[in-house]
Amino acid sequence: MAEAVEAVEQAVEQALKDADLSWERAEDGAYVVALPGTRKLSTTVSLKVGRHTLSLNAFVVRRPDENHEAFYRWLLERNTRLYGVAYAIDRLGDVYLVGRLPLAAVTPDEVDRLLGSVVENADGSFNTLLELGFASAIRKEYEWRTSRGESTRNLDAFAHLTRATGADRPGA
């Protein structure tokens, strides 16, 4: 069994090195990886090599402020199309991506596929999740920034929520 765990640790480390990711080994068999994104600037992933499985856990977004039913329904419907991971919530309602592979299935390529799935579903879905669960907060942030003459450039993806046009955005 120790040989299988060691082989999995080598496969994980090889995948992380090949992908040129920022990572550290937190403890025996535990890794913390920073995945860069475009919508969500970074997603932190925890990989843990256990006695029988490699588990993955990545924070996606905190509990939504509003529209809970539609927000969680979207996650459940999306789960049917995910590879290797699934959306899950903790006791507070915060959203994570979780996954688990048997040790025998772990290869550098499979770790890379799992990490790709995390990026696609944490970063790629981030704006949708913000729109579903935080539209009022986005509008308030926009109003606060415009009242102070501050840039709203990083809210451009949500212009349809704020009804902003380029000419309306101070500092844009």
Distances from the Cα of 156 to the Cα of 2, 50, 144, 146, 153, angstroms: 51, 43, 15, 13, 5
**pLDDT greater than 60 at residue 8:** yes
Query: Which band of pLDDT confidence, cut at 50, 70 and 90, is reported for residue 76?
Result: very high
Share above pLDDT 70 across residues of the chain, in percent, rounded to a whole number: 94
pLDDT, residue 48, reads 97
**pLDDT greater than 80 at residue 167:** no
pLDDT, residue 123, reads 96
pLDDT, residue 27, reads 80
pLDDT, residue 172, reads 45
- Across all residues in the chain, what is the average pLDDT? 92
pLDDT, residue 162, reads 85
Residue-wise pLDDT tens digits, 92-105 = 999 999 999 999 99
Laid out side by side, the sheet with 30-36 consists of: 22-27, 30-36, 42-49, 53-61, 95-102, 86-89
Residue-wise pLDDT tens digits, 108-162 = 999 999 999 999 999 999 999 999 999 999 999 889 998 999 988 888 888 888 8
Residue 96 near residue 1, CB atoms below 8 Å: no
